[in-house]
Structure 1
């Protein structure tokens, strides 16, 4: 076990992970990277930057352009860049959180995302999301907000950390920094404005795309729909989606309400000091994953580096494993696809139980501390 505590162990594991990802990038081609390549070429077609991704935030375009700078095929170059981003994540994270954290991150990614890690650009947003949390832990609030804004401009999800940062800084300084929130929102609007200046017809396209998406097969709403009825599966918006005579959308809307209430509960617990920054961030992101109408397999890349900051549990590990079983395995093996929605349902049940256990442990820990303080008095 001493070997696992040395940085070399992390980089050996990273090397093995990289070899597998590069091999998969060459031999198993997925549509997403081809779509990124198409967006990059359209961006360089005169007039420049007149075409933007319709389903991703505008800043993602610059990620899609980067592979064109390397002297390899687009797919191989994109895979190399995702691994560079992972290397930066590991290097920066181990400075403050040690090699055990690095091993845990690679463990989560290997179990749950090995088949798609280098086929999606989510690691770039995950990198900035983690850096935001890491800087918040160091009380470097300006950097924390800056990194979260960059992540938001790439993939939107780091915006859920903004209330966590507001509360954490208030607990330290007794000031609510509304100016930081305002500047973050202005940065988002500025990017939309930049996009509108170059291509007015595509302003807000990624936001409209997200709002118009139906219930995706991997979401908790789809899982509950499958358990309560016989849903119809159809392909739209680049994914397999679910409908069931209005039931799926009713469940999706109900989960949205549950998510909002759950967020408020997390923020209240953090405000009272029952949750620290990491715990609040993990729960806030977990609520987003479980209550939104889209839960693609690659979204677990966002969670891995933050989840690794705390003690995990078997439910999380099994949830990551079932994610890989659902996608890409369930899509690749003939005859297995009808079971995919139920595999994701089991995954979502395990992920939910993992977060419940996480909260229970924290509640028990806080109660124990309060009890000991009362005894000492």
Structure 2
């Protein structure tokens, strides 16, 4: 490939220049992160958990107890092939995360184009959100699943339905939360009078899950059993919405609670313990299932009663609502879970009106800022565990209340859109690049 051709691909127009600039910024940030981690002697979660607890046991034929579904071990194993020492693994892991970050950038560009938006601002928004969550993106596992799920959404928008369900199945087998989007995908096709595609998608999703699960069971049943046992027995994590509320009930003297620091007995998370937290830990999982099913039912009802012209917006709202409900009614709400929302929120903004987008952007930025404040104060300053104090729990409570507020805003918007009500305003991003700069043409909204 000649230099002019490379220059054209990377710098040929405004969209390509923006994409290349963001990719370079990602690269600089990843290198800076590695330098800080290396020279500051920071023990990362990648080395402590992914390398020592997952990758090394896997390559010594001792299948690890993991919090993730069976296919996750494939992603965890890949960096080990390029670096089998702790630092080599860390470097390869960050490099792989960078590849997924850039892949997500291309997917956002493609998604914007598919729904009729100009591409630069959505890519910039994606870049900013990823940078704000950088240490979680590079030191956790969640970016891989977010990008896979985003790819599934792009395939749905582009009407490449078999690929959408295949990617959604793979995402579920890496980290289980994409499973809650499967009924939304399925219902979307049914209500768009594509029952054949819906049945085919159901078959692809189910067959992929069964085949890979059966294969893992045949290799070693512990791959499946360890995952189920790990998640089924977890206590109430302190960052969960329920824990942040119950903690302050304890401060008021209404119940007795305490914080148990991360250890093998607590599934390596800081948990809230006591009679009330322990009781909540047993009921939140079934309650979460009921609440997510309620979102599916709400989507089905609103989609059936709506005018049909806003089905893409309602689809995006339902996807975001499912993810938010999963976070709010859960016994675990780790800081890195915010990464799950990035792709889905940008998709929702792309198909929504301006006034709604302002609220969503403000809430998203506020949630991320309090997430970072929680990490800096509770982990960086206090050291986590039993050292977390009332101020630290207050920071977590505010972050959680903002998440609840976002869920309420999304559910309210689902009710408005599903009723066929007129949109509140005009999104200034829409098709701006498609109109000549000398005109003020307002093009029809693409739903």
TM interval, short-chain normalised: 0.7 to 0.9
Aligned to 1:85: 100
How far 1:194 sits from its partner (Å)?
2.0
1:369 aligns with 2:369: no
Report the CA distance shift for 1:37/1:262 in structure 2 as closer, same or farther (over 3 A). Answer: closer
In the alignment, does 2:372 pair up with 1:324?
A: yes
Residue in 2 aligned with 1:114?
134
How is 1:144-223 mapped onto 2 (pairs within 5 angstroms)?
Answer: 144-173=164-193, 175=195, 177-178=198-199, 180-223=201-244
Q: Which residue among 252, 259, 276 is the counterpart of 1:233?
A: 259
Q: What's the Cα RMSD here?
A: 2.7
Greater shift in the superposed pair: 126-135 or 248-257: 248-257
Distance 1:93 1:199, change over 3 A: same
The equivalent residue for 1:337 is 388
Equivalent residue, structure 2, for 1:64: 76
Is 1:313 the counterpart of 2:361 in the alignment?
yes
Change (3 A) 1:370 1:351: closer
Displacement of 1:340 in angstroms is 2.8
Separation of aligned partners in 1, 2:142 and 2:302: 33
Calculate the TM-score normalised by the size of structure 2.
0.74
Cα 1:158–1:8 change in 2 (3 A) is: same
Q: Quick check: 1:217–1:223 contact (8 Å CA) kept in 2?
A: yes
Tell me, what secondary structure is at the counterpart of 1:354? helix
> Partners of 2:285 and 2:49 in 1: how far apart?
31
Return closer, same or farther for 1:121/1:265 CA change in 2, 3 Å cut-off: closer
**Contact 2:235–2:281 at 8 Å: present in 1 too?**
no
C-alpha change, 1:80 and 1:343, in structure 2 (3 Å) is same
- Answer with 69-78 or 266-275: which moved more: 266-275
TM superposition shift of 1:256 = 4.8
Uncovered stretches (5+) of structure 1, i.e. residues with no partner? 372-377
Residue matched to 1:349: 401
Q: Answer with 1 or 2: which has the greater Rg.
A: 2
CA distance in 2: counterparts of 1:248 and 1:178, whole angstroms: 41
The answer to whether the 8 Å contact 1:58/1:154 transfers is yes
Report what 1:34 is aligned to: 48
Mean Cα displacement is larger for which, 166-175 or 28-37?
28-37
Contact 2:236 2:272 in 1 (8 A): yes
Across the two proteins, how many residue pairs are aligned to each other? 363
Per the TM alignment, residue 316 of structure 1 is displaced from its structure 2 partner at its CA by 1.9
Distance 1:165 1:86 in 2: 24
- Cα distance change, pair 206–244 in 1 and its aligned pair in 2 (3 A): same
Inter-partner Cα distance in structure 2 for 1:268 and 1:54:
34
Bigger mean CA offset, 126-135 vs 7-16: 7-16
Whole-Å Cα distance in 1 between the matches of residues 213 and 414 of structure 2?
Answer: 40
Tell me, yes or no, if the aligned pair for 1:315 and 1:354 is still in contact at 8 Å: yes
Q: Tell me which residue corresponds to 1:243.
A: 273
- CA distance in 2 between counterparts of 1:206 and 1:329 reads 31
Deviations 1:165-212 (A, max 9, x none): 111000112528355335423433332322222223443211221111
Q: Report the Cα distance in structure 1 between the residues aligned to 2:93 and 2:158, rounded to whole angstroms.
A: 32
Report the secondary structure of 1:246's partner residue.
Answer: helix
Which consecutive unaligned segments of at least 5 residues does structure 2 have?
A: 1-13, 113-118, 252-256, 307-312, 350-356, 425-447
Cα 1:232–1:11 shift into 2, 3 Å: farther
1:290, CA displacement in angstroms? 1.1
> Secondary structure at the residue paired with 1:239?
coil
Q: Which residue number corresponds to residue 353 of structure 2?
A: none
